Homo-oligomer: A and B are copies of this chain.
């Protein structure tokens, strides 16, 4: 039986899955980030090799008919091909945008919109299965509004402001100061600036947890993130569009509070559209790979 390999290259993790053409899982691997824009080439190559190697450990690699990898931003096919060569994988490899993979992970339709919030954030209009245009996706320095980075950075800013004002620490401030290991204002700000900026996305789950505690600061950050994400969708999606809207990315997948808020806001503008949650990106990549063989 012919197998396919699907790879999702994200800002926080790289995941690879081997499936049958019908989508039954035969192998899986996970490693650290291999995002080609922000991760050094050697580290990206090591993480890609580790994830693919783990996925292949339970199957015969020669049975894989085709591989599809989804990557945010400018892709680095050479790094991916080098990992294939190292592992002796000889099937054809297609590198596509992470938005195409995410859309395929959420729907079998050819046209619609996809909103991704993971470490970064982007919305894309998909036409005939391909990205037609995008909004945001500008990276942590210039955009990614409503992403895990944005939520984490906004939580750090809110915490710094609370420390300078001398507010009694609520659930969010208590969690963030514990994570940064500084409770005084000046040292807190200095410590955060020593982080790699994208690592601020690691604070996003603290906002989710504090929101669940009813922390008003955390809830307002989540509200603002949801509004940003829906505004990003509106940049590429006309009013009245009835095509599906796929929600994807680690933040939208794992933060049910944010997902519900985004869902509600999207339904106000596009009441006739199906809004659905994508499967993990590597499964979308495997679905695209299977389509290539049919």
**Chain A 156-169 per-residue mask, 1 if CB under 8 angstroms from chain B, else 0:** 11001100100000
A294 within 8 A of B: no
The answer to whether A189 and B157 touch across the interface, beta carbons within 8 angstroms, is no
The answer to whether A138 and B189 touch across the interface, beta carbons within 8 angstroms, is yes
**Chain A 125-139 per-residue mask, 1 if CB under 8 angstroms from chain B, else 0:** 000000001110011
Residue of B nearest to A187 (CB): B74
The answer to whether A190 and B73 touch across the interface, beta carbons within 8 angstroms, is yes
Size bracket of the A interface: 20 to 34
Q: What separation, in Å, do the CA atoms of A47 and B121 have in the docked complex?
A: 39
By CB atoms of chain B within 10 A, which of A142, A160, A164, A187 has the most?
A142
The answer to whether A161 and B138 touch across the interface, beta carbons within 8 angstroms, is yes
Contacts of A73 in B (CB 8 A): 186, 189-190
The answer to whether B141 and A197 touch across the interface, beta carbons within 8 angstroms, is yes
Residue of B nearest to A164 (CB): B134
A37 within 8 A of B: yes
The answer to whether B74 and A142 touch across the interface, beta carbons within 8 angstroms, is no
Q: What separation, in Å, do the CA atoms of A126 and B167 have in the docked complex?
A: 21
Interface residues in chain A, defined as those with a beta carbon under 8 Å from any beta carbon in chain B: 37-38, 73-74, 133-135, 138-143, 153, 156-157, 160-161, 164, 186-187, 189-190, 192-193, 197, 200
Instruction: A142-B160, A142-B189 are known; give 9 further A-B pairs, CB within 8 A.
Output: A37-B189, A37-B193, A74-B187, A138-B157, A140-B193, A141-B197, A142-B157, A142-B193, A143-B160
Could you pull out 8 A-B pairs where Cβ atoms are within 8 angstroms?
A: A133-B164, A138-B160, A139-B193, A141-B156, A142-B153, A142-B192, A143-B157, A143-B160
